[in-house]
């Protein structure tokens, strides 16, 4: 039953001052009465201003020109009375100016209310937002803004070959002390319904950062791909698309002091469940893992840390696989992440011609704004997930940060803790027993002008692999000159690689 209450009014008085001229922006923000029954009393309020007419401002959560985010936590709304929010200094922002110093310009404006407590990012189902509005700030202006949109629940496309898996993880539930679920989507082989009790090889795909299991919708709606997939020439392989959601951003499908035993859950709960329910061969000989970017790191990590569970990894543009080259940072030697030894600001991204695009300091500030702690450690972003996976648990229940969110200083004790997921260190220390289990299984592709400087760590890892003996590694590591991030990845390419690997099985 839906109860209707009077609109909740949030008044924001934003005074802009530029060249001696005050710009007054009086925002009256209300919640649509139809949404009050689903309203949570505590959350994080976001104000978005940007200059991109092509997207919703709330979807731009990393640095780009003319993009600004302001955020603050609000607690104990009763959902019925008015709430006055002023331009006080407790806003955290990505802008170099405050809400009372907005430069005169034309902006696209949106307000969002992050009230979800189940997922780590602000695009979670159930969160509220206003519609995008174009505003011209060249003088005083009053606006009525209504939080009238609610992000809908995720759902998969209706297709006979598409299946959804939502499994309660006993392992994660026990670790967290509450029900925890792992999710995946499945694309069955084109001839699956025609082949009785036949069992199939199986591919586990890991998405780029934060990718959800609903990405299967793009594939199922791709007419060209699906015509091929249901043709006689397509391989008869089950595709599983793992979900990237975790308590601090992407779970990385690995065990963590902060997120819990996601690796154990995958190997011992989700994989057996899927292969039993959908006629996988239940054999590591016909089980493969792949991905690009974050998926490249995770897939390679799963092959290294669970070497007998998979018979091949196809890793494209993996995140930093060793931490002497954590992008441009040597976490074991450098004192500060934001500036290098020469005093220059470190970039975190570049164009393929080498032109820097984004500073690490700015990138982390966006995550600081997204996090309810006003730091990146629970932002749900890339560095939040890295920190949660690699770092020890902090005294406040949040992961202990490697990089100070304000100064950029590196905590050397935390850097030592990260070594457990430094692939070069791990592989070197375990090569005597690990090496024989990896023969024929490692396939890595990297663009030598990776947008996020990830090629440097992959080069170092490749150099180690080339130096191995007893056994000598036969890993295939390919570097493509001038190529950028994930430029060579495609689902069809990986499926072709799996077919080739299957042909080698005796």
Token readout for 86 is 């002023």
Up-side HSE of residue 182: CA atoms within 13 Å toward CB? 28
Q: Which residues pair with 149 in a beta bridge?
A: 129
How far, in Å, CA of 380 to CA of 367, rounded?
Answer: 8
CB atoms within 10 A of CB 105: 15
Q: Do the beta carbons of residue 104 and residue 23 sit within 8 Å?
A: yes
Lowest mean pLDDT among 15-19, 37-41, 126-130, 209-213: 15-19
List the chain domain ranges.
Answer: 8-150, 162-320+444-460+476-503, 324-420
List CB contacts of 343: < 8 A, sequence separation 6 or more. Answer: none
Mean per-residue pLDDT, 455-468: 98
Q: Give the pLDDT band (50/70/90) at residue 396.
A: confident
Q: Do the beta carbons of residue 14 and residue 27 sit within 8 Å?
A: yes
- The pLDDT assigned to 86 comes to 65
How far, in Å, CA of 471 to CA of 491, rounded?
Answer: 31
- The pLDDT assigned to 15 comes to 43
Q: Do the beta carbons of residue 132 and residue 52 sit within 8 Å?
A: no
How far, in Å, CA of 47 to CA of 116, rounded?
Answer: 17
| 112-141 confidence digits (pLDDT tens) | 999 999 999 999 999 999 999 999 988 777
How far, in Å, CA of 121 to CA of 222, rounded?
Answer: 27
Answer yes or no: is pLDDT of 14 > 60: no
How far, in Å, CA of 339 to CA of 128, rounded?
Answer: 38
How far, in Å, CA of 449 to CA of 447, rounded?
Answer: 5
Answer yes or no: is pLDDT of 492 > 70: yes
Burial category of 276 from C-beta neighbours within 10 Å (exposed 0-12, middle 13-18, buried 19 and up): exposed
User: What Å distances lie between residue 163 and 189, 266, 267, CA to CA?
Assistant: 12, 18, 20
Up-side HSE of residue 360: CA atoms within 13 Å toward CB? 24
Q: Do the beta carbons of residue 451 and residue 351 sit within 8 Å?
A: yes
What does DSSP say about strands 476-480 and 442-447: parallel, antiparallel, or unpaired? parallel
Q: Could you tell me the CATH superfamily of domain 162-320+444-460+476-503?
A: Alpha/Beta hydrolase fold, catalytic domain (3.40.50.1820)
Q: Which helix (H) or strand (E) holds 220?
A: helix 216-220
Q: Give the pLDDT band (50/70/90) at residue 6.
A: very low
Residue corresponding to tokens 């209310």: 113
Answer yes or no: is pLDDT of 453 > 90: yes
Q: Do the beta carbons of residue 135 and residue 141 sit within 8 Å?
A: yes
Q: What global pTM score does this model have?
A: 0.94
Q: How much of the chain exceeds pLDDT 70, in percent?
A: 93
- The pLDDT assigned to 19 comes to 43
Mean pLDDT of the chain: 92
How far, in Å, CA of 137 to CA of 505, rounded?
Answer: 66
Answer yes or no: is pLDDT of 470 > 90: yes
DSSP 269: I
With b for 16 or more beta-carbon neighbours within 10 A and e for fewer, the 340-373 pattern comes to eeeeeebbbbbeeeeeeebbbbebbbbbbbbbbe
How far, in Å, CA of 498 to CA of 463, rounded?
Answer: 25
How far, in Å, CA of 188 to CA of 277, rounded?
Answer: 12
Q: Do the beta carbons of residue 169 and residue 269 sit within 8 Å?
A: yes
| 328-351 confidence digits (pLDDT tens) | 999 999 999 999 999 999 999 999
Residue 127: which of 210, 5, 42 has the closest Cα?
A: 42
Answer yes or no: is pLDDT of 420 > 70: yes
Q: Give the pLDDT band (50/70/90) at residue 17.
A: very low
Question: Integer distance in angstroms from the first to the last C-alpha of the chain?
Answer: 61
Q: Do the beta carbons of residue 194 and residue 491 sit within 8 Å?
A: no
| 282-336 confidence digits (pLDDT tens) | 899 999 999 999 999 999 999 999 999 999 999 999 999 999 999 999 999 999 9
Residue corresponding to tokens 């569970």: 309
Q: Do the beta carbons of residue 414 and residue 403 sit within 8 Å?
A: no
Residue 11: which of 75, 114, 81, 86 has the closest Cα?
A: 86
């Amino acid at each position: 039953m839906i109860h209707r209450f009077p609109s909740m009014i949030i008044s924001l008085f934003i005074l802009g001052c530029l060249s001696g001229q005050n710009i007054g922006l009086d925002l009256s923000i209300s919640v649509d009465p139809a949404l009050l029954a689903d309203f949570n009393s505590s959350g994080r309020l976001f104000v978005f201003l940007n200059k991109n007419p092509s997207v919703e401002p709330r979807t731009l959560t990393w640095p780009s020109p003319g993009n600004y985010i302001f955020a603050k936590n609000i607690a104990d709304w009763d959902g019925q009375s008015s709430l006055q929010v002023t331009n006080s200094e407790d806003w955290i922002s990505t802008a170099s100016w405050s809400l009372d110093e907005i430069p005169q310009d034309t902006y696209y404006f949106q307000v969002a209310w992050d009230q979800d407590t189940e997922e780590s990012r602000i695009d979670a189902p159930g969160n509220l937002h206003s519609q995008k509005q174009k505003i011209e700030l060249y003088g005083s202006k009053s606006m009525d803004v209504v939080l009238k949109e609610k992000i809908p629940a995720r759902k998969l496309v209706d297709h006979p070959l598409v299946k959804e898996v939502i499994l309660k993880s006993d392992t994660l539930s026990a670790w967290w002390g509450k029900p925890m679920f792992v999710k995946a989507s499945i694309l069955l082989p084109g001839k699956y319904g025609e082949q009785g009790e036949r069992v199939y090889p199986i591919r586990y795909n890991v998405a780029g950062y934060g990718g959800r299991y609903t990405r299967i919708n793009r594939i199922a709606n791709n007419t060209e791909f699906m015509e091929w997939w249901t043709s006689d020439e397509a391989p008869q392989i089950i595709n599983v698309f793992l979900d990237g959601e975790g308590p601090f951003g992407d779970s990385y499908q690995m065990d963590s002091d902060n997120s819990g035993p996601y690796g154990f859950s995958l190997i011992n709960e989700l994989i057996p469940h899927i292969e039993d329910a959908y006629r996988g061969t239940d054999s590591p000989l016909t089980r493969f893992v792949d991905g690009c970017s974050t998926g490249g790191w995770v897939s390679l990590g799963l092959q290294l840390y669970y070497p007998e569970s998979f018979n091949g990894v196809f890793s494209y543009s993996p995140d930093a696989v060793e931490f002497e080259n954590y992008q441009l940072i040597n976490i074991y030697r450098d004192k500060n992440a934001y500036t290098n030894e020469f005093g220059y600001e470190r970039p975190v991204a570049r164009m393929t011609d080498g032109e820097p695009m984004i500073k690490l300091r700015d990138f982390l500030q966006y995550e600081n704004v997204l996090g309810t702690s006003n730091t990146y450690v629970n932002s749900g972003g890339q560095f939040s997930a890295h920190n949660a996976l690699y770092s020890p648990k902090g005294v406040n229940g949040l992961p202990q940060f490697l990089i100070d969110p304000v100064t950029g200083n590196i905590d050397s004790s935390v850097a030592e803790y990260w070594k457990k997921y430094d692939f070069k260190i791990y592989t070197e220390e375990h090569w005597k027993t690990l090496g024989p289990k990896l023969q024929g299984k490692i396939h890595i592709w990297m663009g030598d002008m990776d947008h996020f400087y990830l090629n440097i760590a992959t080069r170092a890892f490749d150099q180690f692999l080339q130096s191995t003996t007893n056994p000598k590694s036969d890993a295939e590591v390919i570097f493509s000159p001038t190529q950028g991030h994930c430029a060579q990845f495609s689902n069809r390419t990986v499926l072709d690689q799996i077919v080739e690997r299957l042909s080698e099985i005796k």
